[in-house]
Amino acid sequence: MRKFAILAISAVLFSFSSAGFAYTETCKPTSNAEIAGLFDRWNAALQTGDPAKVVANYADGSVLLATLSNEPRITRAQKLDYFEHFLAKKPVGTINFRVIEIDCNTAFDTGLYTFALGDGSHVKARYTYTYKWDGSDWHITSHHSSFMPEGQ
């Protein structure tokens, strides 16, 4: 009886996969250079001074945990609000250290960066960006940034 049940389940699973019910995802070919370029794209958007151009890099429902804010930014309006204030500081980011990992239609870039601000000051922070390929472009799904610990 047990063998019959296993055969019956196998037959049902085979029929689903044969009928086109099997899920297959096409993975976008990418490289470390392409993923590294996503930070450059984001940083170039900062240089425009236009918060909407920066926020266009983020996926719907993405999470921004920004260096200079205690508030998680999830909605487009919340991200726009953050970048309106951040862009007033005229930030220019530079990557100091990074590790990139790539998977099927997802990637993460994590490391250390420094922002030169328009007043001559610098902000050193740790960061993690996660990205998702949506079939036509890469978008940030989460972005976490935090100050470096004292004395580092």
CATH number at residue 143: 3.10.450.50
d(CA 112, CA 92): 14
Query: Is residue 4 in some structural domain?
Result: no
Q: What is the DSSP letter of 73?
A: B
This prediction's pTM: 0.83
Can you count the helices (H) and strands (E) in the chain? 4, 5
Query: Is residue 96 in some structural domain?
Result: yes
List phi, psi (to 5°) of 48: -75, -20
Residues in the chain: 152
Query: Is residue 18 in some structural domain?
Result: no
Q: Position of tokens 């309106």? A: 84
Q: Which residues of 63-82 are buried (b: 16+ CB within 10 A; e: fewer)?
A: bbbbbeeeeebeeeeebebb
Query: Is residue 59 in some structural domain?
Result: yes
Query: Is residue 15 in some structural domain?
Result: no
Side-chain-facing half-sphere of 106: CA atoms under 13 Å: 5
Structure tokens at 12: 């049902």
Query: Is residue 121 in some structural domain?
Result: yes
pLDDT tens digits in sequence order for the chain, 152 residues long: 555 545 445 544 444 444 555 668 899 999 999 999 999 999 999 999 999 999 999 999 999 999 999 999 999 999 999 999 999 999 999 999 999 999 999 999 999 999 999 999 999 999 999 999 999 999 999 999 999 987 44
Query: Is residue 88 in some structural domain?
Result: yes
Total domains in the chain come to 1
Query: Is residue 8 in some structural domain?
Result: no
Question: 32-48 and 76-87 helices cross at what angle (nearest 10)?
Answer: 70
d(CA 46, CA 96): 18
**8 Å CB contact between 33 and 25:** no
Domain hosting 80: range is 30-147
